A = this chain, B = another copy of it.
Amino acid sequence: MRFSLSPKDTSFYDLFSDQSQHLVKGSALLTQVLGADTSAREDLARQMKDAEHAADESTHEIMRKVNSSFITPFDREDIYSLASNLDDCMDHMESAVDRIVLYQIGQLPAGVASQVEVLVRMSELTAEAMPRLRSMKDLAEYWIEINRLENQGDQVYRRLLAELFDGDLKATAILKLKDVVEGLEHAIDAFETVAHTVESIAVKES
């Protein structure tokens, strides 16, 4: 059984919700990058960098709050892990966009759009789940769906690599695309890590 929380502690939930909103923004920018031309991509990469800085700010705010709070709604180290894990999702998405621009990649294979769709859905689900940390209710459906999406992303990723290896691109073009595709796969895995942390918090607090 958990005690009802004072208003002060409550705002950890708001901070996690804020942090997850940056992920929704990040995955939306990723979607735009796919359809954009080179110069538009540079502008989107700058917006992505800004979104990543904003997410960093949210993360640090949570860390400062953990340090200065006498009572926390769940274990300090779990708050810390969850904030770090959410931050990792953003870092991997930003990194993928940066590489697309840096390597001057043109048209991306169709499978990349499927990866990004998985990321959009994962970020929405994560943003919807964060406020439910307050009651610790209805979280199982969130992590089950994230696990399902991660599996789907994994299938897409394997097939994308097979396509790249058997296509007629030259080796350096394959390496560039592989780097982007792996970056997106890491982002997908990072969302699954967030879900694992949420599951592990729920297991402890139940």
Contacts and interface: CB of A to CB of B under 8 A. Distances in A.
Interface of A: 63, 66-67, 76-77, 80-81, 84, 95, 98-99, 102-103, 154, 158-159, 161-162, 165-166, 171-172, 174-176, 178-179, 196, 199-200, 203-204, 206
A77 B158 contact: no
Nearest to A205: B76
Contact of A166 (B98, B171, B172): B172
Contact of A77 (B98, B99, B203): B203
A171 B158 CA distance: 18
B179 A161 contact: yes
Main SS class of interface, A: helix
B171 A102 contact: no
A206 B67 contact: yes
Given A95-B154, A95-B158, A102-B158, 17 more contacts: A63-B203, A67-B203, A76-B204, A77-B203, A80-B199, A80-B200, A84-B196, A98-B158, A103-B162, A103-B165, A103-B166, A165-B176, A166-B172, A171-B172, A171-B174, A171-B175, A172-B174
Contacts of A81: 200
Contacts of A206: 67
Nearest to A176: B165
A158 B99 contact: yes
A1 B77 CA distance: 17
